[in-house]
Amino acid sequence: MTFRLLFFALLATAMGQSVVMTTLPPLGREVGLTEFQVAFLMSSSALMYAAGNALWSRVGKRKGYRRVLITGLTGYTLGTLVFATVWLSGFQGWLAGTALFLALMAARSGQATIMSATPPSVVGYAISISAEHERVKAISKVSSAHSLGQILGPTFAGLLVGFHLLTPLYAITLMTFTALILVWRYLPNNQTSQVSSVPKVAGVVTTHSIQPYVPLVIAMNACVFLAVAMMQQSLAFFLIDHHGASTTEAAQGVGLAMMISAVCALAVQFTLVQRTSMHPANLMKLAFPLLSFGYLILYLHQEQSQLYFAMVFLGSGMGISYPAIAALATSSCKPENQATVTGFITASPAMGYIIGPPIAASLYHLSHRAPFIASSVMLAIVTLIALGHLRPKPNRVTEEL
């Protein structure tokens, strides 16, 4: 029951995020925002989201993950309503130009600051009630909600944008509000940490101090989401400018692409990640080449069917990478440092979204395909680094004097 509640809470917010990412570029085009203004909206909110993740992870450790999760869901529900209403004022002509852009930035940044409480509280709660040797599976159980949210969110958006581009934003608040009520009513407040005398994850004996490769692993996760941010910033504009789609058709096309990616991510998590005994480092070495190859296909594609084929590789790589990265990092530190490490892990996707959209907007003006090949090259470099520095050897247990 507890994991189901955590799963649904993360599912609701993941659906909301995928709805926003699906509709934001078409919304920007519809009200006259430039690609750089849309990119800045993504980046500024991601900056607040990253800062909030680190903060809320520490608060959750002290005050309880349930309380922080309730705060995050409340902020997400109210923030989405405000954000959608500001967009509505742009459609109605009540706000325009710089005034509209500043209002959107303030609404989105404020929402991101509060909603950033949700991922670290969900992951932190899952870690606190799981044995060390079950951590990969526990993290995969809750993080698979993110993949499912990316399936349902774009589908949800694609169905509702036919009524109006803002309909999905208003509708998603019903789901986050439902998650808020269920968590408030049924999620237990007790979070007993199960720490064994010799903690293990997928055959790894962890040390009592943070391993030196943990910052590298977190940086790799940021690179993965940097590539995702560049793709999401560029894809709708690419469909409009290259394939001749309307803003509504672009939102639907992006929704279908993200749905395919998320289906593959969810499938690989259930069939491989949650059932394998592979070391997390080896899983990462499998994920990064899949991602690099997917972006290469995205760069080379000519037909939309080939674009959707690329999403199979991107989704598979994403489904493997995040649980493996989270498990490897959190298993490589002592319990009192887990809140800090968890905060950095859940904040690292936002780190990618801070710089990804502006880079993508700049590259897009050079070539519409440039963001895709840049992502492919970056993930190829990450693959080489992983092969050279991540070795799945058991670590010697150190003892504190």
Looking at residue 158, its pLDDT comes to: 75
* Helix and strand element counts for the chain (H, E): 13, 2
Instruction: Tell me which residue range forms the domain holding 366.
Output: 2-389
CA 114 to chain centre: 16
Looking at residue 329, its pLDDT comes to: 74
Look at residue 386 and tell me whether its pLDDT is greater than 50. yes
> 146-160 burial string, b = 16+ CB within 10 Å, else e?
bbbbbbbbbbbbbeb
Q: What is the mean pLDDT of residues 179-205?
A: 62
In a domain, residue 397? The reply is no
28: left (phi over 0), alpha (psi -120 to 50) or beta: alpha
* Secondary structure, 3-state, 334-401: CHHHHHHHHHHHHHHHHHHHHHHHHHHHHHHHHCCCHHHHHHHHHHHHHHHHHHHHCCCCCCCCCCCC
Looking at residue 399, its pLDDT comes to: 37
In a domain, residue 399? The reply is no
In a domain, residue 401? The reply is no
Look at residue 178 and tell me whether its pLDDT is greater than 50. yes
In a domain, residue 295? The reply is yes
Instruction: Quick: pLDDT tens for 100-154.
Output: 999 999 999 888 888 888 888 887 787 777 666 666 566 666 766 776 776 677 7
| pLDDT tier for residue 246 given thresholds of 50, 70 and 90 | confident
- Cα dist from 8 to 62, 128, 176, 182, whole Å: 24, 18, 9, 9
Contacts of 174 (CB under 8 A, 6+ apart): none
In a domain, residue 394? The reply is no
Instruction: Quick: pLDDT tens for 255-311.
Output: 788 888 878 888 888 888 777 778 888 888 999 999 999 999 999 998 888 999 999
Exposed/middle/buried for 197, CB within 10 Å: 0-12, 13-18, 19+? exposed
The answer to whether 154 touches 22, Cβ cutoff 8 Å, is: yes
Looking at residue 147, its pLDDT comes to: 62
Look at residue 390 and tell me whether its pLDDT is greater than 60. yes
Q: Which helix (H) or strand (E) holds 24?
A: helix 2-31
pTM of the model: 0.70
Q: Which comes out higher in pLDDT, residue 335 or 310?
A: 310
Specify which of 15-19, 224-228, 258-262, 267-271 reaches the highest per-range mean pLDDT.
Answer: 224-228
Continuous H helices in 132-213: 135-160, 167-186
Specify which of 38-47, 56-65, 229-238 reaches the highest per-range mean pLDDT.
Answer: 229-238
Domain CATH for 279: 1.20.1250.20
| pLDDT tier for residue 346 given thresholds of 50, 70 and 90 | low
Look at residue 356 and tell me whether its pLDDT is greater than 50. yes
The answer to whether 236 touches 251, Cβ cutoff 8 Å, is: yes
In a domain, residue 398? The reply is no
Q: Whole-angstrom Cα distance, residue 360 to residue 369?
A: 10
Single out the residue of 349, 256, 382 nearest to residue 310, CA to CA.
256
The total of structural domains in the chain comes to 1
Look at residue 209 and tell me whether its pLDDT is greater than 70. no
Q: What is the mean pLDDT of residues 355-376?
A: 92
Count Cα atoms within 13 angstroms, Cβ side, for 401: 0
In a domain, residue 400? The reply is no
In a domain, residue 395? The reply is no
